[in-house]
Structure 1
Amino acid sequence: MWDLQSVAELRLVKMLDVTYDDVAFCPSNCSGNGDCMNGTCLCAVQYQGGGCQEKNKSYFISFSVIFYVLSSITTIQLIMCIKSEYQKMKNPSVWKACRVTTQKLLYLFVICASLSRGLYFTIQDSIPIHWADNIMSLYYLLLFSGCTLVVCFWAEMFHIQDRGLTNPGFLSKSLRFFTIFNLTLYSLTLAQFIASVFVENPHKLTKYLNGSLAALFIIEVVFFLAYGVEVFFKLKGAFKEEIRFVRPYPLHGSRLGLVFQGALQILTAFFLMMSVTEAKWKDSVPQPKKNYYDVIFRVVELGVALWFPCVLWNSRSPEKLWILNPSIIVQTSNDEEQVPVDRGEREALNNSRRRISRNYQATVDTSRDTTGPDCWICYDGDNQDAGPLIQPCCCSGDVAYVHHECLRKWLLESVDDSEASHCKVCKTPYQLSRGVPRLYRGFDMRTSFRMIAMLVMMTGTPLAVYFVLQNHPLSSAGIAGIGGCVLVEMLCLKCLGYSIKNVYNRAKIFSLVIVGKTAHSISQEVTNDELVVRRESQSARRATIVSLTPHDERLREDVAKETHQVEIVQTDSKPTLSEQNERTHPL
Structure 2
Amino acid sequence: MNLRDVLDAVDANSTRNDTDLCRQACESSRGLCVGGYCTCYVQYRGGSCEFPNLPYLVSFGVFFCLLSFVSFVQLVLAIYCDYKKAEKNKLGAAFRRTTGKILHLFTALSTLSRGLYFSLKDHVSSIWSLNIQSIYYPFLLCSMALLVCFWAEIYIKGTQSQFLRYSSIYYNIFCLGVCGLLGLEWLINILTDEQNVSWIFDSLWAGLILVVLIFFLVFGSLMFIKVKGAFVPLMAQINNQQLCMSTLGIVIQATFQFLLVLLLVFNLLGSHSHIKWSLLGINIGLVSSRIFELGINVWFACVLWNYQRPEDLWILNPRRLLKLSDGLNGEEHKRLFEPELQASYSSTSLALGQCWICYDNKSSDSLIRPCKCSGDLQAVHHDCLKKWILQENNKGSFASSHGKPYCKVCQEKYDVIFPPSKKLFPYVPTRCWIKVAFLVVVVCSLCVGAQQAVYNNIPGYLQGLVITGVIILGLVVLRQLAITLIEASTRARMTAMVIRSRVNFTQLNQTIFL
State TM-score, norm by structure 2.
0.57
The answer to whether the aligner puts 1:251 opposite 2:251 as a matched pair is: no
Q: Please give the per-residue CA displacement for 1:35-73, whole angstroms capped at 9, x wherever unaligned.
A: 444555432111112332211111111111111000000
Corresponding position of 1:346? none
> 2:324 is aligned with what amino acid?
T
How far 1:278 moved relative to its partner? 3.0
Corresponding position of 1:321? 313
Q: Describe the shift of the 1:181–1:22 C-alpha distance in structure 2 as closer, same or farther (beyond 3 A).
A: closer
How far 1:196 moved relative to its partner? 2.5
> 1:44 is aligned with what amino acid?
Y
Matches within 5 A, 1:137-156: 137-156=134-153
Corresponding position of 1:230? 222
Worse-superposed segment, 242-251 or 305-314? 242-251
SS at match of 2:220: helix
> 1:228 is aligned with what amino acid?
G
Corresponding position of 1:123? 120
SS at match of 2:305: coil
Q: Please give the per-residue CA displacement for 1:15-39, whole angstroms capped at 9, x wherever unaligned.
A: 6357999998696345343344455
Equivalent position to 2:26, from 31, 49, 52: 31
Q: Describe the shift of the 1:221–1:287 C-alpha distance in structure 2 as closer, same or farther (beyond 3 A).
A: same
Q: Describe the shift of the 1:89–1:37 C-alpha distance in structure 2 as closer, same or farther (beyond 3 A).
A: same
Contact preservation (8 Å) 2:38, 2:48: yes
Matches within 5 A, 1:551-562: none
Equivalent position to 1:173, from 166, 173, 182: 166
CA distance in 2, matches of 1:111, 1:138: 12
Q: Describe the shift of the 1:212–1:21 C-alpha distance in structure 2 as closer, same or farther (beyond 3 A).
A: closer
**Runs of 5+ in structure 2 lacking a partner?**
1-5, 329-514
CA distance in 2, matches of 1:185, 1:334: 47
Q: Describe the shift of the 1:284–1:209 C-alpha distance in structure 2 as closer, same or farther (beyond 3 A).
A: closer
Q: Please give the per-residue CA displacement for 1:558-579, whole angstroms capped at 9, x wherever unaligned.
A: xxxxxxxxxxxxxxxxxxxxxx
Worse-superposed segment, 288-297 or 180-189? 180-189
How far 1:335 moved relative to its partner? 11
How far 1:191 moved relative to its partner? 3.1
The answer to whether the aligner puts 1:44 opposite 2:41 as a matched pair is: yes
SS at match of 1:235: coil
CA distance in 1, matches of 2:270, 2:135: 20
CA distance in 2, matches of 1:284, 1:272: 15
How far 1:206 moved relative to its partner? 2.7
Q: Larger relative CO (CA 8 A, sep 6+): 1 or 2? A: 2
How far 1:251 moved relative to its partner? 1.1
CA distance in 1, matches of 2:237, 2:181: 48
Q: Please give the per-residue CA displacement for 1:510-551, whole angstroms capped at 9, x wherever unaligned.
A: xxxxxxxxxxxxxxxxxxxxxxxxxxxxxxxxxxxxxxxxxx
Contact preservation (8 Å) 2:156, 2:229: no
> 1:157 is aligned with what amino acid?
I
CA distance in 1, matches of 2:245, 2:132: 34
Equivalent position to 1:186, from 156, 179, 183: 179
CA distance in 2, matches of 1:37, 1:213: 32
SS at match of 1:327: helix
SS at match of 1:254: helix
Corresponding position of 1:107? 104
> 1:174 is aligned with what amino acid?
S
The answer to whether the aligner puts 1:89 opposite 2:86 as a matched pair is: yes
Q: Describe the shift of the 1:15–1:234 C-alpha distance in structure 2 as closer, same or farther (beyond 3 A).
A: closer
Matches within 5 A, 1:164-313: 164=160, 168-199=161-192, 201=194, 203-280=195-272, 284-313=276-305
For the aligned residue pairs, the C-alpha RMSD in angstroms reads 2.9
Worse-superposed segment, 247-256 or 62-71? 247-256
CA distance in 1, matches of 2:203, 2:16: 42
SS at match of 1:277: helix
CA distance in 1, matches of 2:165, 2:95: 18
Contact preservation (8 Å) 1:20, 1:38: no
Contact preservation (8 Å) 1:26, 1:36: no
Fraction of identical pairs, as percent: 33
Q: Describe the shift of the 1:13–1:128 C-alpha distance in structure 2 as closer, same or farther (beyond 3 A).
A: farther
Contact preservation (8 Å) 1:103, 1:318: yes
Contact preservation (8 Å) 1:68, 1:115: yes
Contact preservation (8 Å) 1:241, 1:334: no
Q: Aligned pairs, how many?
A: 320
Q: Please give the per-residue CA displacement for 1:455-484, whole angstroms capped at 9, x wherever unaligned.
A: xxxxxxxxxxxxxxxxxxxxxxxxxxxxxx
